[in-house]
């Protein structure tokens, strides 16, 4: 499994095809002749700039354009531990974010390919995690280990996030 990009500085990763339109923090609106009295939300453009996975998990979004801290307060980003669990969390978060993006941008081929590559990585990540910590799904069973699903710690317990 590839190493997490924890040492990558704040600069987001740029997609291979540069965006020549509005920029990371702006979107597209319907044409000038839009119906009256409706509020409009600019649509995020195709192939948006992204954070690294670890940055994304720390920031709370995969897309710098959507990083809008309330009252423009710059939130201190706590450093995350470099464990198999956190790596998997960062990967799964990127997958969640890309999944949501794809709901409204289903034709974005670059995003689809990236999504698919992350899903394959996550499958490896899960196997690695489960060998160390036990099942993630109720149906992840190794009969020799008994019904390990019920074993402590559960995610809310002390030691459940080590």
Partner 1 sequence: MFVYEKKLQYPVKIKNTNPKLAAIIITQYGGPDGELGASLRYLSQRYSMPYPELKALLTDIGTEELGHLEMIGTIVHQLTRNLTEEQIKTAGFDTYFVDRTTGVYPTSASGFPWSAASMAVKGDLIADLTEDLAADAAMAEV
> What residues contact residue 100 under an 8 Å CB cut-off, 6+ apart?
none
**Rounded to the nearest whole angstrom, what is the least distance from the CB of residue 31 to partner 1 in the complex?**
20
94 phi and psi, to 5 degrees?
A: -60, -40
Between 33 and 41, name the residue whose CB sits nearer to partner 1. 41
Distant-in-sequence, close-in-space partners of 18: CB < 8 Å, separation ≥ 6: none
The binding site for partner 1 (CB under 8 A) comprises 38-39, 57, 70, 80-81, 85-86, 88-89, 92-93, 96, 99-100, 103-104, 106, 134-138, 149, 154-156, 158, 160-162
Cβ proximity to partner 1: between 18 and 38 the closer is 38
Minimum CB separation of residue 100 from partner 1 in Å reads 6
Which of 162, 130, 136, 131 shows the shortest CA–CA distance to 149?
Answer: 136
Distance of closest approach, residue 24 Cβ to partner 1, in angstroms:
20
Residue closer to partner 1 by CB (options 17, 116) is 116
How many Å apart are CA 135 and CA 151, to the nearest integer? Answer: 9
Least distance (Å) between residue 151 CB and partner 1 = 10
- DSSP secondary structure letter of residue 36: T
Residue 95 to residue 103: CA distance in whole angstroms: 12
Closer Cβ to partner 1, 15 or 105, answer by number: 105
């Amino acid at each position: 499994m590839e190493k997490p990009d924890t040492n990558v500085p704040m600069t987001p990763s740029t997609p291979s095809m540069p965006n020549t339109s509005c920029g990371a923090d702006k979107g597209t609106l319907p044409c000038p002749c839009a119906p009256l009295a409706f509020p409009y939300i600019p649509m995020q453009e195709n192939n948006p700039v992204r954070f690294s996975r670890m940055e994304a998990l720390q920031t709370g979004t995969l897309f710098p354009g959507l990083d809008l801290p309330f009252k423009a307060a710059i939130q201190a980003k706590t450093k995350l531990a470099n464990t198999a669990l956190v790596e998997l969390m960062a990967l799964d978060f990127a997958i969640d974010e890309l999944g949501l993006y794809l709901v409204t941008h289903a034709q974005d081929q670059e995003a689809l390919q990236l999504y698919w590559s992350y899903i394959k990585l996550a499958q490896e990540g899960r196997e690695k995690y489960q060998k160390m910590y036990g099942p993630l799904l109720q149906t992840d069973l190794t009969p020799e280990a008994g019904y390990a699903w019920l074993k402590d710690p559960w995610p809310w317990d002390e030691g459940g996030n080590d």
